[in-house]
Every structure is written in C-alpha cells, then in structure tokens.
Amino acid sequence: MSRVALVTGGQRGIGAAISEALKAAGRKVVASYAGNDAAAAAFTERTGIPCIKFDVSDFEQCAAAVQKIEAEHGPIEILVNNAGITRDGTMKRLSRQMWDDVIDTNLGSCYNLCKLVWDGMMARQFGRIVNIGSINGQAGQYGQVNYAAAKSGIHGFTKALAQEGARAHITVNAIAPGYVDTEMVRAVPPEVLEKIVARIPIGRLGRAEDIARGVVFLTADEAEFITGSTLSINGGQHMY
C-alpha cells in the first residue's frame, strides 16, 4: 500500500538503503537530512526520492518539516528514526557539548518526531515506527558513553511507546545494527576495525541493505503482532 514513510538521515548510509527498500516495497518515501546538500541532490536524482533538510534535534524544525511533508504527500504512517551521530571520547575528554549533541540528535529526535506524528497515527488507528538503535547501546562501547546511553535509551523508549500504541495498531520497534560499512564506521581507525571484524561470527561488516530488509519487515502492514521488540542485525556479534 502506498503509505507515506519518513526516513530521517535517509539520503546516505544506512538511511539511504532503508529509503530505497521502502520505495521498492511500494511506500511513498521522503528522506530527511541535516546539511549534506550534495548527497541529498545526488540521492534524489538517482532514486526519485524527495529529500527535506531539517535538524532532527530541534523540535520546531521537526514540527515545520512534518507539517510540510504531510501537506505535500499525505499523513506520515511510517516513521523511521535513523538519523544519528557519534562524538566519541573517553570520560576524561567527554565534554558536556559532546554529551548533549549525541543525546539530542540520537534520542531527542525520537521524541520530537514520534510526538509530532503520534496524534495522527492514533486518530487513523495505524502506524509503524522503527527506531534505529545500536549494538553499542546493548553492549556498551569504550569511548562511547554518550552514544551508548542514547542508543540504550532508544531501546527503552521503544518498549514504553509500544505499550501506548498497541491498541491503536501502532507498532514501535527498534533495530540494533552491528557494525555496518558506512561513513560512520569508516571513521574508525583501520586497526580497530580489523579487530571488530574478527569478532563478527559471519566474518564481515554489515551492509546497509542488511538493515533495510529488517525495516521493510517491521513496517509491513502484516507485522502488527510485532511491537516493542528489538531486532539485532549484527552478524552474530552480540546475541542479546
């Protein structure tokens, strides 16, 4: 069914694969991004998927964007909270700014966008929400106190909101990707990455498409009985 899907951070990395997979599944997809205009223009040209620029950590910008998307395309029935950043540093180096940036972008964004689409989903008695967490929110990671806290928060957020949406046929699930070959992971020093890959039973990094397949599955109309769950897609690296 041609439902409208908003994928945050949906024009590159994992988000781009999610946007394309949802489009292939027949959804009307809008991809959001923060500032990388070149990536957005190239993505729209290649896929035909429209992109919209706003900061997911800013409630007012989110509100204006949701209003614009719904006016142009129709009500958002599928929301994928994928946008995320890292600002890594051990506690010794972890500034208040690095903490706030990661919490606001990765976790605050889930509040902002869920809050803004929630009443509409409730009124229509249908919704599919997928929040992208992380293996590092499940297991923790040295030098990522801020990121692990935000991603772990996403998992709790998901379980709580799922309980509120269930009777209205709104499902809320999370996906916890392992290490996926995107720019975020390419920023990890090669010697560290080599050690990480050695710990992945499947023997390779994840591909963005591996995550996208999970999003298509969880957002299907038929997936109503799956809510409040976290789907780990990590090549067996962490069995939780």
Helices assigned H by DSSP within 55-186: 59-73, 96-102, 109-124, 135-139, 145-165, 183-186
Q: How far is the CB of 104 from ligand NDP (least distance, A)?
A: 8
| Distance (Å, whole) CA 85 – CA 83 | 7
Task: Assess whether 147 carries a catalytic annotation.
Answer: yes
Judged by CB under 6 A, does residue 180 bind ligand NDP? yes
**Could you tell me the strand order of the sheet in which 51-53 lies?**
51-53, 28-33, 4-7, 76-81, 127-132, 170-177, 230-233
Cβ neighbours, 10 Å, residue 94 = 17
Ramachandran class of 122: left when φ > 0, alpha when ψ lies in -120 to 50, beta otherwise: alpha
Judged by CB under 6 A, does residue 157 bind ligand NDP? no
Number of residues that bind ligand NDP (CB under 6 A): 31
Nearest to 172 by CA among 240, 66, 79, 62: 79
Selecting among 111, 147, 179, 240, the annotated active-site residue is 147
Judged by CB under 6 A, does residue 185 bind ligand NDP? yes
Q: How far is the CB of 82 from ligand NDP (least distance, A)?
A: 5
Name residue, tokens 């951070």.
Answer: 9
Residue of the chain from 25, 29, 83, 148 that contacts ligand NDP (CB under 6 A):
83
Judged by CB under 6 A, does residue 105 bind ligand NDP? yes
Cβ–Cβ under 8 Å, residues 3 and 28? yes
Q: How far is the CB of 124 from ligand NDP (least distance, A)?
A: 25
Task: State which residue, 21 or 132, has the beta carbon closest to ligand NDP.
Answer: 132
Q: How far is the CB of 225 from ligand NDP (least distance, A)?
A: 25
- Residues classed as catalytic: 147
Footprint of ligand NDP on this chain (CB under 6 A)? 8-9, 11-15, 32-36, 39, 55-57, 82-85, 105, 132, 134-135, 177, 179-180, 182-185
